[in-house]
Structure 1
């Protein structure tokens, strides 16, 4: 196919699964990627031997013949996830966060399951009363205990005594938070920023990681990211022969966001 003078504008109704509203913008990207300039015609394959063309100069869809670049199938059709959303057959909470972001959908309910909004107060049953936990100076802290009491109780816990419930909840959040599964899934899909947003909303940006499943998950993600970077650069595994690189932990920072630089 290729544009020719006098190409006729295509009339008729569009099929609902055609992403017509995206064709012109995607067509400009195709032409620019092939060094043809943004203005001109790009073919759109619709199946069953049918093919139209979109004119990027005015976004018209026309009937044309000749040899010009073709729009990728991914840009031709409405994504299945968006069709399901439009039909009401799926909610944003069912989408992976990266898919929801790509479709411009905020999966609020999905995020709520593993993310606490910044500034939200957590309630804890502590010694016969309901106490509050919240972020103070970037760190998850108990609000209903005096600093001297917190220091004393922390020292007792460090010596092997039972921690008071408020400190126990904070310790559990640093070691094995309820949102750990969501954090692990985000890291597995490469959504490092989203994983740390979840983490910071719970523990605060000033939190120091403690030994436990959360730290193990972050260290594993760090090693994989380093290994991938070394592989991409062709450097291979660092260190002299016999170095047990994967078992070393001394170089891992305890600040969660610093542990995996963006």
Structure 2
């Protein structure tokens, strides 16, 4: 962790671009072709950074030996030697001394997953933390990406009258993209007066109250994955959405109440009636159900 503070310390994010391999380094020796055969770039190995990371590792431990051990998997190991031409596979090394070698950390062996996802187009720059985005793509701005045109894969088409309209997350909440604010406000007032709003607003209301992802949310909540359930909800409705009355809100409210009750029970602050009534659990009694009449002599 100390050798890779750029991955978790906000004060060191300026190092992230170079340490993760996003920014090129001048005069860096080319990787050993033998290393590339064992650890090709397309498998996610940060082989271009191994020489620099090996130097950081050896200097931090004050070692005189320039040899490091690289773990490529659960069983595969590579012994490499650092020299003027960069990191090269060591020609020979005593078998009994392998356990004493410095081991290249996992974070230095592989490329960061966010960089891989960004390069393959699985995620866009606005999905990254602003500090990470600024380090990985210095010439781009996440805020500008958010304000730009909405990506097609993040919108849903709705048959609204005789036209096909889009709904998507804008400013953190699910919205109808092809209706202006005045029209949306008028339709919301119509719905409040028991009228039937536009199909776009009906779909948004359905997503708030009884979305298709509700079974998946319930399953995550049942397994205790509250964070995962919230990610699903935020991915559908947006992080700034305010839930409306319905099955989805009931599920999340019930889970929150259960966590509060469990926390009070574990801390000893719960009322007697909050004690879980599991089968086979004997509840404590404050008095006898059939008190005996005492007799004095």
TM-score (norm 2): 0.41
TM-score (norm 1): 0.46
Q: Compare CA radii of gyration and give the structure with the larger one.
A: 2
Q: Which has the higher contact order (CA 8 A, sep 6+)?
A: 1
